[in-house]
Amino acid sequence: MADRVKFNKAFLSIIFGILFIFILASPVSARVYFIPLHGDVDPGMVSFLERGLDEALENQAELVIVDVDTYGGLVDSGISLRDQLVSFPGEVVVYISNRAWSAGTLVALGADRIYMSEASSMGAAETRPYDEKYISALRSEFAATAERRDRDPEIAAAMVDADIEIEGVIESGKLLSLTSSQAEELGFTEGRFVDFNEFLDYLGYTEADLTRIEKTGLESFAGFITNPFVSVFLLSLGIIALVGEALIPGFGVSGTIGVASLALFFSGYLIQGYAGMGLIVLFLAGLLLIAIEIFVIPGFGFTGITGIAAIFASLFFIFPDPSIAWAILAAVLVFSTIGTVLLIRLFGTSYFWRRISLGESLTTETGYVSSEDHKNLVGETGRTVSTLRPAGIADFDGKRIDVVSEGGYIDAETTVIVVKVEGRRVIVKPNKEE
């Protein structure tokens, strides 16, 4: 019995020893999460940081390092980034690897600690528009965030408001920007380093401790599409290609290119969080209204104008800033107009285009009469040569005359009667007695 007890104890010791060795040898969750915030501050950066912080929290990271390198961007996105850092339950430090200007400074202020590389800078948070209302709001945001992290709120406010003067730091009339050495001397940051490796050594970590959050292929694609130059290209190409489809008979390459260009444009802004489905639906509704105006309703009136307004509104509000929207839409208008003119010169106009524009030549050789007195035609009947939309051509005993429908749309080859003549306008209606 005693031998059995000894055997059991020895067996359990071996099992626990193996388990202990296995636990020590097993990989542990990453100690540090590294999230690079590089480029423009925009909704795409907001969703990227959110994904990184969620992953760090889920894996119980010891520390999150946010690498900031940006000229700035959208204030709303900067505030969202700042809020994420402030509300994160773990410790977050910001390393300014190059620059944290404008909205990027607000992001840095949201961290528990700020470190900088020796060649970096921060500040210069000028509002756009440069208006007292915006200055006051952003100044308060900067000061409150700095105060929350035990930093000098007046220094933070001077980065937004040029009217603030701090003796020995900044004179009135200039926005405050700080180099890494200036920021450290003022106690606004916790240190500066030659490079990132020296910074990691200071924290007590190595590259092996880092889990780097990288942009997905979809996020990189959306960032490329929402570049203003790419947006102008895609929108201009889409419009020119769709116009080309109207000029060239049949639905072919031009229409496919137009639809694909617009689909790429909207998909990028949808992924980045600039646009919701409402704006896309509004754009499609505008296209539908214009198509109805062209194919169904004669002439060009309320439906077509409403369609154009819907398309313009959807494109205007998809951009994050009115100044950006006006600049892009103006560029698109110029390029699409030039492209359309070149298409017309190259391909001419299709039968469809000529038909909706009533481009038939009205010459005396083909039997048309345009400027003589037609008072004697009141009560006379004739047949429409072209569709009245409401204007068109009708034949009266071999004479082709410009006429206008009294009630609207009248098909070609319809018997009509002249109801009245007002100057040169010959007004007709369908002859019900035929």
- The residue-averaged pLDDT of 99-126 equals 93
Q: How far apart (Å, rounded) are the C-alpha atoms in residues 374 and 403?
A: 11
Phi, psi (deg, nearest 5) at residue 321: -140, 135
Confidence of residue 301 (pLDDT cuts 50, 70, 90): low
pLDDT at 194: 94
pLDDT at 212: 93
Q: Does domain 364-430 have CATH number 3.20.20.70?
A: no
Instruction: Give the residue with greater pLDDT, 298 vs 397.
Output: 397
Which class is domain 30-214? alpha beta
Report strand pairing: 425-430 vs 399-405: parallel
> CATH topology of 30-214 equal to that of 364-430?
no
pLDDT at 113: 96
Q: How far apart (Å, rounded) are the C-alpha atoms in residues 314 and 292?
A: 19
Residue 359: pLDDT above 50? Answer: no
Q: How far apart (Å, rounded) are the C-alpha atoms in residues 257 and 233?
A: 12
Q: What is the pLDDT of residues 136-193, one digit of tens each?
A: 889 999 999 999 999 999 999 999 999 999 988 999 889 999 999 999 999 999 999 9
Confidence of residue 349 (pLDDT cuts 50, 70, 90): low
Residue 331: pLDDT above 80? Answer: yes
Instruction: Give the residue with greater pLDDT, 421 vs 301.
Output: 421
63: tokens are 């520390």
Instruction: Give the residue with greater pLDDT, 401 vs 121.
Output: 121
Phi/psi-derived region of residue 390, left when phi > 0, alpha when psi is between -120 and 50, beta in every other case:
alpha
Domain boundaries, the chain: 30-214, 218-355, 364-430
Q: What is the pLDDT of residues 233-261, one digit of tens each?
A: 999 998 888 877 766 655 577 778 888 88
415: tokens are 């018997």
Average pLDDT score over the chain: 81
pLDDT at 388: 82
pLDDT at 393: 87
Q: What is the pLDDT of residues 364-419, one digit of tens each?
A: 444 444 445 677 888 888 888 888 877 888 888 888 888 888 777 888 888 888 88
Q: How far apart (Å, rounded) are the C-alpha atoms in residues 402 and 371?
A: 9
pLDDT at 30: 56
C-beta separation of 105 from 121 below 8 A = no
